[in-house]
């Protein structure tokens, strides 16, 4: 059963008449206890997709042209600001990329965590304190009482990121959105945070949607991946299937160009020629066609739809076998 | 590769004063290594381990606290300003961020010719011709010379930085996270370029990166740093096939695998990097090490050769005593 379902989302930026569409007809869904990774290179529209889907992308300058986003049977696109504020932090938890800028530097960790509970619940002060300490403990923070009295700058990057995760999870949301939550962290910390998210997901039965630029990473936590290119999802599949047999030529090229422990040293890495087209330069066809060795006449004229096939889907007229 | 070392670093120390004036931070702590001509040494470790400080101290961009750095047989640490400036022709640096390392007001031609101008090499016409050759070498079109850095993408800017570093025909290059700021598909292009330059020009790289898969692809030998010290060093194939230090094993197991089902060597270490201003006694890794023994808390282990094919495979860990 899906916790969150986005249908045909299109988002553009800029003033009317000169709008550039950066997300073009994106659909996905995530089930309870499932993780979906939105993967792509910078500028592919993955963060805009994530934030727009829960109306956290500031508008203007962004503009949702069409689409719906269902949290249970509520379409978030139809809600007013007050109704959205009631959902953010309670049924929807969000963890942003940079733990330094997402915490308020002039309040202690305790003040910020208690505030979340004060806004969304009728718990007493003592109950709030208890809940906050339990959650900090849950995300692996030692001596939580001491941390509550500290300011964000007194904590390391790993601890700050854990505080943000604790804050996002305080009200046991159904849906957790995370925008590159580990990019700013070192590899060993990344592994710790991802293990923590996976544990909490299973325990609380959340759905997680995760944005990352790193196709190789995070394979431990994602159940499914949707690969984005130039504003569209070009392929989605279970993680293992995607790595074993990518179907979209872009996914294949991306995997081939990533150095791994198994890359032969005497051979050059595969590269993708050319550059991602800017939003204004995207033609009617497949957005990858100008860089694709397999592209034909039809690819340049017509955009392929994302066609499901079992539990995976690909948007390509000439997929890899 | 010839056997005479191009670079010899012995017991190099770089201290920084700690805020408040009490004590010092040993950013680089008694580091020794040698590099043969044409040999790439990869330095890996998490942020704060001292790997960037090491690169800058070797190049004398930071003045060493003590120790010796010999390049082409000449001791750099005691050189007065003018002879050191002359030696800089032989050693150059490529930085992580191609956005902040190029003056936005200069043309690409002026940027690439600047090192030649500073060292008084060639006539204006000769410098122009050299700029053309360098652009061609790094895969940029000749007309790039007249343009400004902001007109280029991140990958193209890194090519400009590489052309600039090559202008004086250096023998030794410190590359500090040269692809970390770039998208995956662009990383492969720059790594291929660096490898081709090494082959064609016999360059010797000190390649600093937090990404162990990238380092495995480019490096002949690898040094792992933790809190200012080298904890393990050896030929790349030895170190990755048989990591001996628990910290190295942790780092390698944190690398995402392409082939599913590859088991993890070690779970991520508990806790954060200790405060480098007051590192733990004994082995500095012991508070995070699953195998720590009594001895590890009291006696710092020395970096000792424990086998290795050709290049000695050295590790600083009591488990191998």
Provide the H-helix boundaries in B119-273: 124-137, 154-166, 184-201, 212-218, 236-241, 246-253
Comparison of pLDDT for B262 and B209, the residue scoring more: B209
A253: nearest CA in chain B? B185
Contact B259 A214 (CB under 8 A): no
Contact A214, A207 (CB under 8 A): no
β-strand partners of B31? B12
What percent of chain B is helix, strand and coil (3-state, nearest 5)?
35, 20, 45
pLDDT one-digit tens code per residue, B74-124: 999 999 999 999 999 999 999 888 878 899 999 999 999 999 999 999 999
pLDDT number for residue A57: 85
User: In tens digits, what is the pLDDT along chain A, a chain of 321 residues?
Assistant: 789 999 999 999 888 778 888 999 999 999 988 889 898 888 888 889 999 999 988 888 888 999 999 998 899 999 998 888 888 878 898 888 766 677 888 899 899 889 888 888 888 888 888 889 988 887 778 788 888 888 888 887 778 888 888 888 888 889 999 887 766 666 666 777 777 788 888 888 899 998 887 765 545 555 789 999 999 999 999 888 888 899 999 999 988 888 888 888 888 888 888 778 888 788 889 999 998 989 999 999 999 999 999 889 999 999 997
Q: Which of B193, B142, B134 is nearest to B165 (CA)?
A: B134
Contact B185 A262 (CB under 8 A): no
Distance (Å) from the C-alpha of residue B212 to the closest C-alpha of chain A? Answer: 8
Q: A119 in helix, strand or coil?
A: helix
pLDDT band at B262 (very low <50, low <70, confident <90, very high): very low
Q: Give ipTM to 2 decimals.
A: 0.77
Distance (Å) of CA A103 to CA A100, A175, B86, B203: 6, 21, 48, 45
pLDDT one-digit tens code per residue, A228-244: 999 999 999 988 888 88
pLDDT number for residue A294: 92
Q: Does B119 touch chain A (CB under 8 A)?
A: no
Q: What is the pTM of this model?
A: 0.81
Contact A113, A125 (CB under 8 A): no
Contact B185 A265 (CB under 8 A): no
- Give chain A's contact residues with B (Cβ, < 8 Å): 41-42, 156, 158-159, 186-192, 195, 213-220, 239-240, 243-244, 253-255, 257-263, 265, 268-272, 275
Which B positions 252-281 lie with beta carbon below 8 A of chain A? 252, 254-260, 268-269, 272-273
Q: Is the pLDDT of residue B275 over 80?
A: no
Mutate which of B256, B273, B277, B288 to test chain A, going by most A C-beta atoms within 10 A?
A: B256
pLDDT one-digit tens code per residue, A6-60: 999 999 988 877 888 899 999 999 998 888 989 888 888 888 999 999 998 888 8
Residue B3 CB coordination number (10 Å): 6
The structure tokens listed for B259 are: 């082939």
Comparison of pLDDT for B17 and B236, the residue scoring more: B236
Q: Is the pLDDT of residue B52 over 80?
A: yes
Contact A265 B217 (CB under 8 A): yes
The structure tokens listed for B62 are: 């930071």
**Cβ neighbours of B187 in A, within 8 Å:** 257-259
pLDDT number for residue B2: 52
Contact A186 B213 (CB under 8 A): no
pLDDT band at B4 (very low <50, low <70, confident <90, very high): confident
């Amino acid at each position: 059963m899906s916790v969150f379902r986005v249908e045909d989302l299109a988002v553009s930026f800029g003033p009317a008449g000169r709008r550039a569409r950066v997300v073009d007809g994106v659909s996905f869904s995530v089930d309870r206890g499932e993780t979906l990774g939105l993967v792509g290179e910078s500028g592919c529209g993955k963060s805009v997709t994530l934030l727009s889907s829960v109306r956290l992308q500031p508008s203007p300058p962004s503009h949702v042209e069409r689409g719906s986003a269902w949290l249970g049977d509520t379409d978030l696109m139809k809600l007013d600001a007050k109704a959205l504020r009631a959902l953010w932090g309670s049924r929807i938890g969000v963890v942003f990329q940079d733990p330094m800028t997402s915490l308020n530097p002039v309040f202690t960790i305790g003040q910020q965590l208690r505030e979340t509970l004060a806004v969304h619940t009728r718990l007493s002060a003592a109950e709030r304190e208890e809940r906050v300490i339990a959650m900090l403990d849950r995300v692996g923070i030692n001596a939580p009482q001491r941390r509550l009295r500290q300011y964000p700058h007194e904590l390391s990057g790993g601890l700050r990121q854990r505080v943000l995760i604790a804050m996002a999870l305080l009200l046991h949301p159904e849906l957790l959105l995370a925008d590159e939550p580990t990019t700013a962290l070192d590899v060993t910390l990344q592994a710790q945070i991802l293990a923590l998210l996976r544990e909490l997901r299973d325990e609380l039965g959340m759905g997680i949607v995760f944005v990352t630029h790193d196709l190789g990473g995070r394979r431990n936590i994602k159940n499914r991946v949707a690969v984005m290119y130039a504003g569209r999802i070009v392929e989605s599949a279970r993680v293992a299937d995607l790595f074993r047999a990518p179907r979209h030529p872009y996914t294949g090229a991306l995997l081939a160009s990533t150095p791994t422990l198994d890359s032969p040293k005497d051979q050059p890495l595969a590269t993708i020629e050319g550059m991602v087209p800017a939003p204004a330069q995207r033609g009617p066809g497949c957005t990858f066609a100008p860089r694709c060795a397999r592209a034909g006449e039809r690819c340049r004229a017509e955009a392929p739809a994302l066609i499901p096939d079992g539990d995976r889907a690909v948007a390509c007229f000439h997929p890899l076998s | 590769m010839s056997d005479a070392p191009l670079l010899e670093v012995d017991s190099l120390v770089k201290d920084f004063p700690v805020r408040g004036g009490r004590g010092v931070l040993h950013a680089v702590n008694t580091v020794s290594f040698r590099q043969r001509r044409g040999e790439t040494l990869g330095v890996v470790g998490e942020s704060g381990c001292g790997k960037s400080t090491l690169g800058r101290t070797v190049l004398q961009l930071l003045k060493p606290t003590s120790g010796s750095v010999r390049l082409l047989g000449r001791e750099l640490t005691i050189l007065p300003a003018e002879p050191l400036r002359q030696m800089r022709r032989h050693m150059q640096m490529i930085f992580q961020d191609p956005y902040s390392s190029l003056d936005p007001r200069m043309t690409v031609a002026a940027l690439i010719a600047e090192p030649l101008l500073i060292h008084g090499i060639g006539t204006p016409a000769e410098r122009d011709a050299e700029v053309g050759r360098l652009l061609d070498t790094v895969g940029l079109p000749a007309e790039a010379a007249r343009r400004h850095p902001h007109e280029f993408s991140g990958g193209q800017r890194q090519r400009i930085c590489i052309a600039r570093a090559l202008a004086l025909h250096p023998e030794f290059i410190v590359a500090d996270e040269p692809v970390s700021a770039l998208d995956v598909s662009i990383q492969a292009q720059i790594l291929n370029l660096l490898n081709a330059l090494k082959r064609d020009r016999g360059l010797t790289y000190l390649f600093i990166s937090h990404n162990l898969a990238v380092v495995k692809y480019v490096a002949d030998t690898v040094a792992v740093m933790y809190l200012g010290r080298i904890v393990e060093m050896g030929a790349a194939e030895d170190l990755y096939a048989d990591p001996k230090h628990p910290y190295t094993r942790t780092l390698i197991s944190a690398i995402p695998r392409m082939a599913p089902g590859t088991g993890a060597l070690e779970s991520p270490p508990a806790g954060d990097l200790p405060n480098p201003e007051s590192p733990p006694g004994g082995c500095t890794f012991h508070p995070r090490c699953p195998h720590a023994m009594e001895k590890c808390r009291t006696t710092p282990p020395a970096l000792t050769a424990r086998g290795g094919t050709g290049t000695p495979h050295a590790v600083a860990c009591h488990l191998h005593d």
